[in-house]
Amino acid sequence: MDDPRIDKQPVWVQELLREHGQRIIALEKELAALKRMQAGQHPDSNTFVESGNDEVPVGQSPMVAFRTADGGSFDVKLLKDGSLQVFTSRAVLVAPHNEIDIRLRMTPKEGR
């Protein structure tokens, strides 16, 4: 080791410090990659998730899943032609809200 203070420590302490040092290096690399991705250095991403005031890129057209309180699901994906593909666990009602907003509402579960 480069630090004479560490060289004077018992072998088990030296090994523990070496392991922690390696873990810190790995975490710093992972953090740098996440910061690059968050800074928009994910050039092929066309899907973003809002996190506070930031938009975090999540890749090229991943399937995004939403779950409702009653157990329903919406799975949404952006297609190459610019349209959204929506898969649902039940029938859906499409309601125009205004000229730039539509609402999708899942039909109630059977027996309700």
> Structurally, how many domains does the chain consist of?
2
Per 3-state DSSP, the chain is made up of helix, strand and coil in percentages (nearest 5) of 30, 35, 35
Whether residue 111 is contained in a domain is answered as: no
Query: What region does 5 belong to: left with phi over 0, alpha with psi -120 to 50, or beta?
Result: alpha
How is residue 78 written in tokens? 């952006």
39/17 same-domain check: yes
What local confidence, expressed as pLDDT, does residue 111 receive? 59
* Residue 86 confidence (pLDDT) above 80: yes
> Domain of 44?
4-58
Whether residue 43 is contained in a domain is answered as: yes
pTM of the predicted model over 0.95: no
76/43 same-domain check: no
d(CA 10, CA 35): 37
102/85 same-domain check: yes
What local confidence, expressed as pLDDT, does residue 1 receive? 52
Using DSSP's 3-state secondary structure scheme, residue 93 falls into strand
* Residue 65 confidence (pLDDT) above 80: yes
